[in-house]
């Protein structure tokens, strides 16, 4: 069923607009009238095509059979939190005995973000036409991801879609919490870096030049720290048009290189070797690998297909290559633990637990234990890193300000001693 964007007047005569699901503009007018809203204009159609013209107080709008993409560039991006909330609500409805189509209709009315509303409307329409939920979601795999789609398909084939959706909701919520914790950890140092950089630039371009003019007039022999400060100040003043674009351009080039086919593997190997951050990235990858693989296997996804999905979920290409090697080894009859051990990238705890799980037939439970262990370790490390970053940033900013103050005060003290 299409979703229309409309403009209307409410009972008080105020302009209102929004999105509404209806079979046609005529049906839309009737539905809105029952709600005390009077349609004035149909702006566009989110899915499907309009087959009639709509006339209102604002004039006539002819849309014919042309499909219009509403707010193609807007509508609000769909993030992990949105998917998690939607998944849990859909699972609750299905568990309560509501049919899939009715549950999807409820979700179309429930969600607030227009992009997700349009996507769910399209999914509902495809399901209503006889498509499976997994196949309908496949058309929006960029939003939901291959993990989500494959788990839904496994749930449909096993007849436990509501249970799989609950498992998906828990998994997605866990990933969202972890992401929020990491982002929250990085916000403070980022703000401190911006503020500190702004203060330093102001000092170097406004304060330092005025103070150092005194030294030029006095013709005194300046300490090397003061000479360095004056040189840096002059360079920033005279060549800011090179420094600023160079810094921005360098950041853009680095970002593009780290995302390229040739640069990403090199960068990912370097990241894993960085003190403090490298072990954290490795533990995050191990936790995501274990949790995702366990969730897929518990949902009935075959092991080889599950490893294909997990490989794409892991963002670090070095760790992802190990999983790819493990998949090929399994296809040839080997265990999962052996290639993980040979790689040297996974900690001993992981491949020992995986090996025990394979031998005992409890691989999913062992993987969940590994995930719990490493997620707990990640939380501890992030907490310690957060506690460490704050004093480190304060000390760094204090050292810079102290260098500037020392470089300015030393010549002044020398001049005072000469006067005496």
User: What tens digit of pLDDT does each residue of 173-196 get?
Assistant: 887 887 787 777 778 778 888 888
φ and ψ of 6, to 5 deg = -135, 160
Would 318 be classed as within a structural domain?
yes
Entry pTM:
0.65
Would 155 be classed as within a structural domain?
yes
The pLDDT value recorded for residue 61 is: 39
Q: Tell me: do 146 and 178 sit in the same domain.
A: no
**C-alpha span between 151 and 79 (Å, rounded):** 19
Would 275 be classed as within a structural domain?
yes
**DSSP H stretches of helix in 159-276:** 161-202, 208-218, 224-238, 240-259, 263-273
Would 12 be classed as within a structural domain?
yes
Q: Tell me: do 205 and 218 sit in the same domain.
A: yes
Average pLDDT over residues 394-420: 78
Would 408 be classed as within a structural domain?
yes
- Give the pLDDT confidence of 267-285 residue by residue, as tens digits: 999 999 988 888 888 988 8
How many independent structural domains does the chain possess? Answer: 3
Structure-block tokens of residue 181: 């914790």
Average pLDDT over residues 138-164: 82
Average pLDDT over residues 233-257: 87
The pLDDT value recorded for residue 143 is: 86
Q: Tell me: do 102 and 138 sit in the same domain.
A: yes
Residue where a domain stops, chosen among 12, 27, 61: 61
Q: Tell me: do 323 and 367 sit in the same domain.
A: yes
For residue 34, pLDDT beyond 90: no
Q: Tell me: do 91 and 235 sit in the same domain.
A: no
Please tell me which residue, 16 or 100, carries the higher pLDDT value.
Answer: 100
Q: Tell me: do 112 and 214 sit in the same domain.
A: no
The pLDDT value recorded for residue 66 is: 36
Percent of the chain at pLDDT > 70 equals 87
**C-alpha span between 216 and 226 (Å, rounded):** 12
**C-alpha span between 375 and 287 (Å, rounded):** 6
Q: Tell me: do 40 and 125 sit in the same domain.
A: no
Would 338 be classed as within a structural domain?
yes
- As a whole number, the mean pLDDT across the chain is 80
Q: Whole domain around residue 39: which residue ranges?
A: 3-61
Residue where a domain stops, chosen among 172, 199, 225: 172
Q: Tell me: do 242 and 346 sit in the same domain.
A: yes
Q: Tell me: do 338 and 395 sit in the same domain.
A: yes
Three-class SS of 6-69: EEEECCCCCEEEEEEECCCHHHHHHHHHHCCCEEEEEEEECCCCCCCCEEECCEEECCCCCCCC
Q: Please report which confidence band the pLDDT of residue 256 belongs to, taking 50, 70 and 90 as the band edges.
A: very high
CATH number for position 260: 1.20.81.30
Structure-block tokens of residue 6: 């409309």
Q: How many CB atoms lie within 10 A of CB 145?
A: 18
Q: Tell me: do 234 and 98 sit in the same domain.
A: no
For residue 346, how many C-alpha atoms fall within 13 Å in the half-sphere facing its CB?
31
- Give the pLDDT confidence of 123-146 residue by residue, as tens digits: 888 888 888 888 898 888 888 888
Q: Tell me: do 127 and 208 sit in the same domain.
A: no
Residue 28 in contact with residue 51, Cβ under 8 Å?
no
Would 355 be classed as within a structural domain?
yes
Residue where a domain stops, chosen among 130, 156, 172: 172
Average pLDDT over residues 356-364: 89
Would 70 be classed as within a structural domain?
no
For residue 362, pLDDT beyond 80: yes
For residue 60, pLDDT beyond 60: no
Q: Tell me: do 168 and 221 sit in the same domain.
A: no
């Amino acid at each position: 069923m299409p979703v229309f964007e409309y403009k209307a007047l409410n009972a008080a005569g105020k302009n209102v607009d929004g999105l509404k699901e209806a079979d046609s503009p005529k049906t839309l007018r009737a539905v809105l009238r029952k709600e005390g809203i009077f349609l004035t204009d149909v702006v566009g159609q989110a899915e499907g095509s309009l087959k009639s013209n709509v006339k209102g107080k604002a004039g006539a709008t002819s849309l014919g059979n042309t499909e219009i993409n509403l707010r193609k560039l807007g509508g609000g991006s769909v993030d992990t939190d949105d998917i998690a909330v939607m998944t849990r609500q859909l699972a609750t409805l299905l568990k309560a005995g509501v049919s899939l189509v009715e549950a999807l209709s409820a979700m179309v009315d429930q969600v607030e973000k227009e992009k997700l509303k349009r996507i769910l409307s399209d999914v509902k329409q495809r399901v209503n036409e006889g498509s499976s939920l997994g196949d309908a979601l496949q058309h929006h795999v960029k939003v939901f991801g291959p993990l989500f789609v494959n788990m839904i398909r496994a749930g449909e084939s096993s007849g436990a879609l509501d249970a799989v959706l609950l498992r998906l909701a828990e998994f997605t919520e866990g990933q969202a919490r972890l992401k929020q914790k990491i982002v929250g950890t990085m916000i403070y140092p980022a703000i401190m870096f911006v503020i500190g950089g702004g203060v330093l630039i102001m000092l170097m371009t406004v304060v330092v030049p005025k103070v150092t003019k005194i030294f030029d007039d006095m013709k005194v022999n300046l300490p090397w720290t003061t000479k360095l400060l004056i040189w840096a100040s002059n360079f920033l003043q005279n060549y800011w048009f090179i420094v600023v674009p160079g810094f921005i351009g360098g950041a853009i080039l680095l970002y593009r290189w780290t995302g390229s086919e040739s640069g990403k593997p090199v960068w990912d190997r370097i990241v894993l070797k960085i003190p403090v951050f490298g072990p954290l990235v490795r533990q995050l990858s191990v936790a995501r690998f274990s949790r995702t693989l366990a969730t897929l296997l518990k949902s009935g996804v075959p092991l080889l297909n599950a490893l294909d999905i997990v490989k794409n979920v892991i963002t670090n290409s070095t760790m992802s290559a190990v999983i790819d090697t493990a998949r090929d080894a399994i296809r040839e009859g080997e265990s999962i633990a052996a290639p993980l051990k040979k790689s040297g990238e996974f900690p001993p705890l992981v491949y020992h637990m995986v090996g025990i799980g394979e031998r005992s037939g409890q691989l999913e439970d062992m993987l969940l234990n590994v995930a719990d262990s490493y997620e707990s370790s990640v939380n501890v490390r992030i907490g310690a890193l957060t506690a460490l970053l704050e004093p480190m940033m304060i000390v760094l900013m204090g050292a810079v300000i102290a260098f500037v103050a020392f470089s300015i005060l030393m010549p002044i003290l020398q001049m005072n001693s000469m006067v005496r």
